[in-house]
Amino acid sequence: MLAGLAVTNITMPFLSVMGPDQEFMREWFQRYYLNRPPRPPERMDRREFGFMFFDREYVQRHLGFEGPGELHSFIQGQVPSHAYYSSAYYQFPGAATMEEKKWLGADLIFDLDADHVKGAESMSYRDMLARIKVELLRLIDDFLLGDLGFDASHLRIVFSGGRGYHIHVMDARLASLRSHERREIVDYIAGTDLNMEWVFPERTTASREINGRVQESRVRSTPSPTSGGWRRRMRHGMMWLVEEMRSRDLPDLRARLPALAGASDAMIEGMLKDLYSKSGARDGADLMLSGNALSNFSDRRHLDLFLKLLKEEVVPRFSAEIDEPVTSDIKRLIRLPWSLHGKTGLCVTPMDREELDRFDPLRDAVPSLYPDRTVEVFVRKPSVVEIKDLRLEVEGRCEVPVYAAMFMIGRRIATLDFPPDE
């Protein structure tokens, strides 16, 4: 998914000849835009716009529009394959250089893309989008509405039309944040350089004087059940890790937890014995959580290994997957809501938090304008396509509904350019 365009993109005047696939998609895009032109963004007269096309091999940007009519006329006449607008506000958005535009502020943008989800390349398109939605809900509920305390009314959630989602935080208090300040928000959400000394601080449990010297007994505290933010998250992460390791053999543990690489079998077994050895009716891990202290380790090295697992295995699992450069970029172009995505034919669909739970991209982002009537396409290799209420197993020449053809042609699963022997 092309979430946004960096400021280095330039316009290169080169026209290309459209093939049957581009002509087919452009025709349906034009029908869509004539019937449902995209709604302009807030403060559109302060935004820069950029476009890509079916019949041109360049990006056209540095465009400004005074009102919805101008924007709609451009889109309906030029029929872009991708439409973008700036997260930033400018005094002169149509100026040819970034310096001349005079930056005034920017929305805070988050981008979640399948490229950042482990294993997404082996998933079906539907499963990939479902996995992204899990990450999206964690970002919204745990971080944006939770830890950071943003108001739900300031969030606009947008299905990108491709492989993920965008979140626009439109709060005037955030508009003036520069890149390094936005980067701090990214680092918090990602758990970057999370200070384990802060999460699990050492405290003195006892002290005594022997031969004039004071000896102290010290333990690391675990976050209490009432903790907030990353301390609460790491407490839950400890519980996950303890159960993840319970009753697993060493080869399985090493396969599941790459952070164990470099630790000897004896060291791992020693840590496990400390965690799961019984003290009365309770094991060490249970006592550790209930006692709010990492005090059940017989060897400091076992504790250090456990802390290493918490940092390298738990933190990534309890953070949120986002495209970090998008959030810190204060001059980004982001997809225009209600425009169409040139690589799927799907609609860039905005929604609020309540609508997100029931949103199905392969149903709700398919434009109703695309008809059910069939068109013949050629499928290059055996494929399974799920869209709306269909599950198609296709290969070679086949007839599919127009809405499925748009999706398949956009994703290059199918073509209207039939091979000569077909």
pLDDT tens digits, residue range 280-332?
Answer: 666 777 877 777 778 778 888 999 999 999 999 999 999 988 888 999 999 99
Task: Tell whether 36 and 173 lie within a shared domain.
Answer: yes
180 and 293 fall within a common domain: no
Place of tokens 């390298």: 312
45 and 122 both lie in a single domain: yes
CA atoms of 314 and 310, how far apart (whole Å): 5
For residues 79 and 133, state if they share a domain. yes
Are residues 345 and 375 both part of a single domain? no
Model confidence pLDDT, tens digit, residues 139-182: 999 999 999 999 999 999 999 999 999 999 998 899 999 999 99
> 386 Cβ partners below 8 Å, 6+ apart?
124, 125, 126, 362, 392
Residues 18 and 131 grouped into a single domain: yes
Q: Rounded CA gap, 346 and 332, in Å?
A: 22
pTM: 0.86
Q: What number of other Cβ atoms are within 10 A of residue 344's Cβ?
A: 24
CB contact at 8 A, 112 and 164: yes
Domain CATH for 155? 3.90.920.10
Domain, as residue range, for 387: 371-422
**Rounded to the nearest 5°, which phi and psi values hold at 68?**
-55, -35
Q: For residue 307, what are the CA distances in angstroms to 1, 28, 47, 233, 257? A: 36, 56, 47, 15, 13
- Give the end of a domain, one of 354, 369, 384: 369
Q: Helices 229-245 and 265-276: crossing angle, nearest 10°?
A: 110
> Once rounded to an integer, what is the mean pLDDT over residues 389-399?
94
Structural domains counted in the chain: 3
Last residue of a domain, one of 285, 318, 351: 318
Among the listed ranges 97-101, 286-290, 361-365, which one has the minimum average pLDDT value?
286-290
pLDDT score, position 377: 97
- Asked whether 344 and 162 are in contact (CB, 8 A), the reply is yes
Helix (H, G, I), strand (E, B), or coil: what is residue 80? strand
Strand order in the sheet with 155-159: 108-113, 164-169, 155-159, 349-351
Residues 159 and 62 in one domain: yes
Residue 228: per-residue pLDDT: 92
Average pLDDT, rounded, for the chain: 89
Same domain as 223, residue 308: yes
Structure tokens at 322: 């986002």
What contacts 9, CB < 8 A, 6 or more positions away?
A: 50, 59, 61
Tell me: the pLDDT tens digits for 210-254? Answer: 666 655 556 788 888 899 999 999 999 999 999 999 889 999 999
pLDDT of residue 204: 63
CB of 86 within 8 A of CB of 41? no
Residue 119 has pLDDT above 60, yes or no: yes
User: Which residues have a catalytic role annotated?
Assistant: 111, 113, 323
pLDDT for residue 160: 97
Same domain, 206 and 299: yes
Instruction: Return the CATH number at 401.
Output: 3.40.5
Residue 379, pLDDT score: 96
Q: Residue 160 corresponds to which tokens in the numbers above?
A: 């990108």
pLDDT at 5 over 60: no
Same domain, 181 and 328: yes
Q: What is the pLDDT of residue 7?
A: 41
| pLDDT for 212 | 63
Same domain, 112 and 156: yes
- 11 and 160 part of one domain: yes
pLDDT over 90 (residue 395): yes
